[in-house]
Amino acid sequence: MPSRLLPLFPLQVVVFPRTRLPLHIFEERYKLMVGEAIRDGCEFGIVLAGEQGIANAGCSVAVEKVLDRYPDGRMDILTRGLRRFEIVSLDEELDYLRAEVHYFDDEDQAQPEPEIRKQVLRHFRSLKELGSARPRGEPDLADPQLSFQLAQILPDLDFLSALLRQRSEASRLKQLNQYLADYIPRQRAIERVQGVAPTNGFGGKRREL
């Protein structure tokens, strides 16, 4: 059955269960929303925002810690992902969006192949060396949904959003393994080009004319 209305925070980010996300809250409507969540100990939902609107699936978060409060009401908080959800309907009665949502989890309980897990972890170690990786702290390698822990440092929001919807850990790890196998060599090549681009071919910096 759909749950009660869940406050929504549209952002250019994808959050997974049991992963942490720091946020700086500055808009008045979200000061109100987050303030109520802190006061009542309630969760709110983070959904990916794009040019065509918001994604129809997201992840709820709880405020784990208030890092800083400012005189004008702004705040820095640390959130932790809780539950994945699909949006059933939107409610625009308040200044911020709310939604009737349906929470979901994995339906396929098949265990990932050990070799795939090893390959993904090997790719992850290589990924962390790239400049495009987003620092998010050390992953919990004991998490039964390891794919979420590893994928959170990727910058590809469309891929992350698709991974969030996937209801099989075995399938997610396979998809993540294939994605990283393609992504890492391509990104290495890009970063090598970027590394030599500022030079003029003689070992010095290019002169501006």
Q: What is the full per-residue pLDDT of the chain (209 aa) written as tens digits?
A: 344 899 999 999 999 999 999 999 999 999 999 999 999 999 999 999 988 899 999 999 999 999 999 999 999 999 999 999 999 999 999 999 999 999 999 999 888 999 999 999 999 999 888 776 666 677 898 999 999 999 998 999 999 999 999 999 999 999 999 999 999 999 888 888 887 665 544 444 444 43
Residue 198's pLDDT is what?
57
Structural domain for 170, as ranges? 114-196
- The CATH number that applies at residue 88 is 2.30.130.40
Under 8 Å between Cβ of 82 and 17:
yes
Task: Look at residues 104, 130, 151 and tell me which one is the last residue of a structural domain.
Answer: 104
pLDDT digits (tens, 9 = 90+) for 90-99: 999 999 999 9
Q: Assess whether 21 and 99 both reside in one domain.
A: yes
Quote the number of domains for the chain: 2
The pLDDT of residue 84: 98
Tell me: do 64 and 38 sit in the same domain. yes
pLDDT recorded at residue 2: 43
132 and 158 in one domain? Answer: yes
Per the structure block, which two tokens stand in for 15? 């959050």
Structure confidence at residue 52 (pLDDT): 87
Q: Does 208 map to a domain?
A: no
Please check whether residue 202 lies inside any domain of the structure.
Answer: no
Q: Which residues contact 115 (CB under 8 A, 6 or more apart)?
A: none
Does a structural domain hold residue 153? Answer: yes
In a domain, 145, yes or no: yes
pTM for the model stands at 0.86
10 and 88 in a single domain? The answer is yes
Which of 78, 43, 36, 41 has the alpha carbon at shortest distance from 59? 43
Count H helices and E strands in the chain, helices first: 5, 6
pLDDT of residue 135: 66
Task: Check whether residue 89 and residue 157 sit in a common domain.
Answer: no
The three-class DSSP label of residue 87 is strand
Distance CA 7, CA 159 (A): 24
Domain boundary among 104, 124, 150: 104
pLDDT of residue 4: 81
Query: Of 74, 104, 134, which residue constitutes the final position of a domain?
Result: 104
